[in-house]
Amino acid sequence: MVYDRMLYDNPAGNSLANTCDKLPTISGLASQYRCSELGDYLAGTWSKHLLSMLLWTKASDWPARRRRPSSYIAPSWSWASLVGPVIWNLEGPHSLSDPGNYVAEIIEAKCETSPDDEFGSVYSGYLIISSPYMFLGVRIESGRRPTVDHESISSCLLDSDPVNGRYEVENGEEVTCLFLRKLRGFSYQGILIKPVDSTCTSYVRVGSVLVVRGRFNQLPKLLLGKIRII
């Protein structure tokens, strides 16, 4: 399928992973794959498969540090916003085309690009998502991988590695966990976000989570709301 091929052809996991602004580099490739079944091109993702393409995580075996660029490159929900390779847990070669059991819904998504190249650099972007969510506290201890304060969360990965010993979130800081998809094995995938400021009107992505089979029922009752991520 064309959408699967586009995903696996993107350079997130190859030598371009260290490039800060990947989008202009792959603009030619992206334009070749443009078609109605993919929808609009949004900062390295496609609108009709956006929920799948939000479920990226950083590649854990990469020797260099994963970080956010010093200047704006892409909205935080896009894989292109991270310097370093990313991977998708899509359950097989054609799972991007499989709608799966999504428990979230994209309400709106837009990106501002150059009028001369809609597949190139992105100047701003946002999405509004309706999703089940819960609040979690982040635990960061020296010499250990960050975790969250609920035993049902089987895996927690912060997107960016620490810079000068500090992550994008602080120890004890509250984040919001959005659950996007239920996998075939009854595990759930989600992303972690935090508010940009005290108004809590916009959020940025900071990580990803997985709840394995048998533990989802141990979670508290989830809330449901519409959230704007930039």
Predicted confidence (pLDDT) per residue in 95-109, tens digit: 555 555 788 999 999
Q: Which of 107, 126, 145 is a domain's end point?
A: 126
Cα distances from 3 to residues 99, 103, 135, 167, 224, in angstroms, run: 12, 21, 33, 33, 29
For residues 41-69, average pLDDT: 85
Query: In this predicted structure, what is the pLDDT of residue 186?
Result: 61
Least confident of 81-90, 122-131, 175-184, 190-199: 81-90
Q: What is the pLDDT of residue 216?
A: 72
Structure tokens at 75: 């909205």
Contact in structure between 128 and 34 (CB atoms under 8 Å): no
pLDDT band at 4 (very low <50, low <70, confident <90, very high): very low
87 and 164 within one domain: no
Task: Find the domain containing 47 and state its range.
Answer: 2-126
- Of 94, 126, 158, the last residue of a domain is 126
User: Do 149 and 118 belong to one domain?
Assistant: no
Q: Is the pLDDT reported for residue 128 higher than 70? A: yes
On whether both 139 and 215 belong to a single domain, the answer is yes
Residues 46 and 141 in one domain: no
Q: Please tell me the total count of domains within the chain.
A: 2
Least confident stretch, 9-18, 97-106, 151-160: 9-18
Q: Say yes or no: 100 and 162 in one domain.
A: no
Whether the per-residue pLDDT at 44 is higher than 60: the answer is: yes
Task: Among 126, 159, 189, identify where a domain stops.
Answer: 126
Residue 192: band (very low, low, confident or very high) from pLDDT cuts 50, 70, 90: very high
pLDDT for position 36: 87
My answer on whether 173 and 192 are in the same domain is yes
Residue carrying structure tokens 């054609």: 94
Q: So what's the pLDDT on residue 215?
A: 74
